[in-house]
Structure 1
Amino acid sequence: MRWLMWVLCLLLAMPGWAQHVQNDRRIAITIDDLPMQAMSSAPAADWAEWHTKLMAQLRLANAPITGFVNEEKLQIDGQVDPARLAMLDDWLEAGFDLGNHTYAHKSLHDIGVPAFQQSILDGERQLRPLMAKHGKSPRWFRHPFLRNGTTPADKQAMDEFLAQHGYRVAPVTVDNSEWVWAIAYRRVLNGETQVKDRDAALERLRLGYVPYMLNKLDYYEAQSVALLGYKLPQVWLMHTNELNADTFAELIAAARRCGYTMITLEEAMRDPAYQRPDGYTGKWGPSWLHRWAMAEKKPKDFYKGEPVVPQWVLEMAQVESE
């Protein structure tokens, strides 16, 4: 029940209630698909405006963030666009870290190990020298769709390749269907989904999105306690999109009101749980908490209760299911 969650968050924000929770509820924010998701769907001027809005939201949130880059999005007609490359520079100037998300966001399961490895190398041609200007180098890698191999041999080949090139896989423990909310928001913005009152529909999406994401935090926190016996420092998945450009600061503020402390990805990864072998060789990309649970052969009931995207959001997004 959403109102109970909000009451709990308010109580946790009061002195005394949150003292011990602050130390337990830690989470690292990761944002995929830089410089901006779905850049081909709008004019360059529009994306420049959304990028500016998103950067303002990120700064206002005042939290450590690791962004993951698809270098294909830097190009126009096969050439790197300096304006798009400058968007990545904005992230580094703001003090955020950047990682490799492959060149073109193709799934390992679709293109195979050799092509996927080449996509990783192609995904650092601009990223590596750009980060070097800031005294950094890309050290985090995020698999597109969180799909990282359907056989032990493929997984081992990728692990060895990434280690040779100085990368560590950035897992995700707090997974979500934020992408459905973002599509709905974009479609309403662009007039692709017809609604009676555009502004009211956008506001409804913004107001529903934040509680949905907080409910996901609660669910995966409970999963970590059930599986590990404690509140794991989580890794949260989000994307660069118009919805977050309008809501990100409020989402992070709401999470803080619920007792969460924002930490770096590196700090989260120091927890011993992240040394557990993945072991998952299915075709999808579930949360690492669920991968570990599958390795322990947890029953189906273990996974029940995960929050779902409301039907009205699916309809606005014109998506049949998550």
Structure 2
Amino acid sequence: MVDVRHRNRRNGATRLGRALALAVLMLPGAASAQDVALTFDDLPAHSVLPPGETRLGVVARLVAALADAGAPATGFVNAAGLETRPEERAVLEVWRAAGHPLGNHGWSHANLDAIGADVFATELVRNEPVLQSLAGDSDWRWFRYPFLAEGQTPDVRRAARAALRERGYKVASVTMDFSDWAFSEPWARCRSKGDAVGMARLETLFLTSAEEALTASRTQSRALYGRDIPYVLLMHVGALDAHMMPRLLALYQARGVRLVTLEAAMADPFYDADRTTADGPGPLSLETAAAAAGLPRPARTDVQSELAGLCR
């Protein structure tokens, strides 16, 4: 089950709008493959670290696993921490040296629904100098909403979209998510206690949740459109993510996944509204599309309670 902090989604899509989207998706030339784009939020620093870990070590293991799998990825930056921890810029440099682009995740990871559209626009611009300084010839004008919060009212949503359009951004959608962020604190607890049983359980739950997310996204996409859209997977630069990345990528590739760039995935007509930052009735996701069509949500294991109790 997706936690509300990372799934602040409203079921606001109209049936008429969804019918039009479905018509577009069925046009000749619409992508039809089990493609997945990997995206990582919260660079350069996500959550707590286990004893002996460093931010630089985490990102080095992540990019090594991505390289071994030939997997492209996009990372989304909150640059506020660099003011007090300038050494963490090295994390972003390692990411870029591996050839992966960076995007904007808001200066301080502030929730649009808490700060309002005016402060949102300020946070957007304040994050840009770091991105520009590291981008080279890569496209850094992708934006991922912190907490996936896109505005609880039409006015806030429209104002935020207008700010993004004015700055030339595309919205980085999310169509696959297994709340990997929720594993970070339990992993640090289990590591600090040397709890081998707890760590093994976390590894199992991580892979199980990831596979369920793939199945759920495919089930919704096929029910809605009769095909696999290219999926955009939300992850984070956490210590357990780095530890599990080789096994996760091997799992997905064994399931027939082809790992593609964010740009390639979002070229699909499904993502037109986010790629053009168009105004719309609600956030774009498979969940909102399925809800608008009256489809049931695929079954997912709720691991949150178990995660909260592990290694206490």
> Same fold by TM-score, threshold 0.5 exceeded?
yes
Task: From 214, 222, 233, give the equivalent of 1:225.
Answer: 222
Task: Quote the Cα distance in structure 2 between the aligned partners of 1:189 and 1:180.
Answer: 15
Equivalent residues, number: 276
Describe the shift of the 1:265–1:278 C-alpha distance in structure 2 as closer, same or farther (beyond 3 A). Answer: farther
Task: Quote the Cα distance in structure 1 between the aligned partners of 2:201 and 2:298.
Answer: 27
Tell me what 1:302 maps to.
296
Describe the shift of the 1:317–1:127 C-alpha distance in structure 2 as closer, same or farther (beyond 3 A). Answer: farther
Q: Please provide the CA RMSD for this pair.
A: 2.3
Aligned-pair distance for 1:248?
0.7
Contact 1:29–1:262 (8 Å) recurs in 2: yes
Task: From 92, 95, 105, give the equivalent of 2:96.
Answer: 92
Task: From 238, 242, 247, give the equivalent of 1:241.
Answer: 238
Aligned-pair distance for 1:311?
4.1
Tell me what 1:316 maps to.
310
Gaps of 5+ in 2: 1-31, 274-278
TM-score, structure 1 length as denominator?
0.79
Mapping 1:63-74, distance limit 5 Å: 63-74=71-82
Mapping 1:245-284, distance limit 5 Å: 245-276=242-273, 278-280=280-282
Tell me what 1:25 maps to.
34
Aligned-pair distance for 1:161?
1.2
Task: Quote the Cα distance in structure 1 between the aligned partners of 2:308 and 2:69.
Answer: 28
Mapping 1:184-203, distance limit 5 Å: 184-191=186-193, 198-203=195-200
Gaps of 5+ in 1: 1-22, 192-196, 282-286
Tell me what 2:285 maps to.
288
Describe the shift of the 1:242–1:159 C-alpha distance in structure 2 as closer, same or farther (beyond 3 A). Answer: same
Q: Secondary structure at the match of 1:38?
A: coil
Tell me what 1:59 maps to.
67
Aligned-pair distance for 1:182?
2.1
Tell me what 2:46 maps to.
37
Task: Quote the Cα distance in structure 2 between the aligned partners of 1:45 and 1:236.
Answer: 25
2:308 maps to a residue whose letter is L
1:178 maps to a residue whose letter is D
Task: From 133, 138, 156, give the equivalent of 1:129.
Answer: 133
Q: Secondary structure at the match of 1:127?
A: helix
Q: Name the structure, 1 or 2, with higher relative contact order (CA <8 Å, separation 6+).
A: 2
Tell me what 1:114 maps to.
118
Tell me what 1:10 maps to.
none
Task: Quote the Cα distance in structure 2 between the aligned partners of 1:272 and 1:52.
Answer: 34
Aligned-pair distance for 1:247?
0.6
Listed one character per residue, the Cα deviations across residues 251-270 of structure 1 (whole Å, up to 9, x for unaligned) are 01110000000011111111
1:162 maps to a residue whose letter is L
Listed one character per residue, the Cα deviations across residues 130-172 of structure 1 (whole Å, up to 9, x for unaligned) are 21xx223411000001011112222221112111111100010
1:186 maps to a residue whose letter is A
Tell me what 1:9 maps to.
none
2:160 maps to a residue whose letter is M
Contact 1:189–1:202 (8 Å) recurs in 2: yes
Aligned-pair distance for 1:73?
2.6
175-184 or 237-246, which deviates more: 175-184
Tell me what 1:49 maps to.
57
Aligned-pair distance for 1:232?
0.9
Contact 2:66–2:72 (8 Å) recurs in 1: no
Q: Secondary structure at the match of 1:126?
A: helix
Deviating beyond 4 angstroms after TM superposition, the runs of 4 or more aligned structure 1 residues are 41-45
Contact 1:181–1:317 (8 Å) recurs in 2: no
Task: Quote the Cα distance in structure 1 between the aligned partners of 2:179 and 2:43.
Answer: 18
Contact 2:109–2:146 (8 Å) recurs in 1: yes
Listed one character per residue, the Cα deviations across residues 35-59 of structure 1 (whole Å, up to 9, x for unaligned) are 12026x6799733333333332332
Contact 2:101–2:139 (8 Å) recurs in 1: no
Contact 2:40–2:75 (8 Å) recurs in 1: yes
Contact 1:28–1:268 (8 Å) recurs in 2: yes
